[in-house]
């Protein structure tokens, strides 16, 4: 089995609605996304012969995904009052609504699915919320 790994980072804010602790408040992180792709065999012909996937293609997709979440407030559907959202939009804040609680675990699963839909042979996605703490999501290829 062959594995390739790349990383990308983004800065964003989130909060955990209904949580009893510090993370109930809006706060930010420098998120790190680590993606591992896997293949049983290397490409046998053409310009990508001897590769699992072109590192440039892999890095491009992971970077684009990270960039799409960069410098935004990520919030779960229904977790903010409409008046709050209207005020934030009126101030031109960048808001990203997600259908899940914005935890490292859910980001890892979401990013896994997004990259798999793009045709990447994703093995694992690891999302670091802090340099010491991460969540890993994996499915069978």
Q: Spot the catalytic one: 27, 60, 71, 139.
A: 71
Residue 29: active-site member: no
Residue 23: active-site member: yes
Q: Spot the catalytic one: 34, 61, 76, 129.
A: 129
Q: What is the CA radius of gyration of the chain?
A: 17
Q: From 101, 108, 99, 102, select the one nearest 128 (Cα to Cα).
A: 108
Q: Spot the catalytic one: 23, 97, 134, 138.
A: 23
Residue 129: active-site member: yes
In 1-140, the DSSP E strands lie at: 2-14, 27-39, 73-76, 95-98, 122-130, 133-138
Q: Which residues are catalytic?
A: 23, 71, 129
């Amino acid at each position: 089995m062959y594995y390739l790994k790349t990383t990308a980072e983004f800065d964003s804010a989130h909060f955990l609605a209904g949580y009893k602790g510090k993370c109930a408040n809006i706060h930010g992180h420098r998120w790190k996304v680590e993606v591992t792709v896997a293949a049983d065999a290397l490409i046998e012909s053409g310009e990508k012969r001897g590769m699992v996937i072109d590192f440039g293609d892999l890095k491009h997709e992971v970077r684009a995904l990270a960039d799409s979440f960069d410098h935004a407030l990520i919030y779960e559907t229904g977790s903010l009052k409409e008046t709050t959202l209207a005020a934030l939009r009126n101030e031109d804040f960048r808001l990203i609504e997600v259908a899940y609680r914005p935890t490292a675990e859910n980001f890892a699963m979401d990013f896994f699915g997004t990259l798999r839909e793009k045709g990447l042979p994703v093995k694992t996605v690891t999302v670091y919320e802090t340099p010491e703490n991460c969540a890993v999501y994996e499915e069978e290829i």
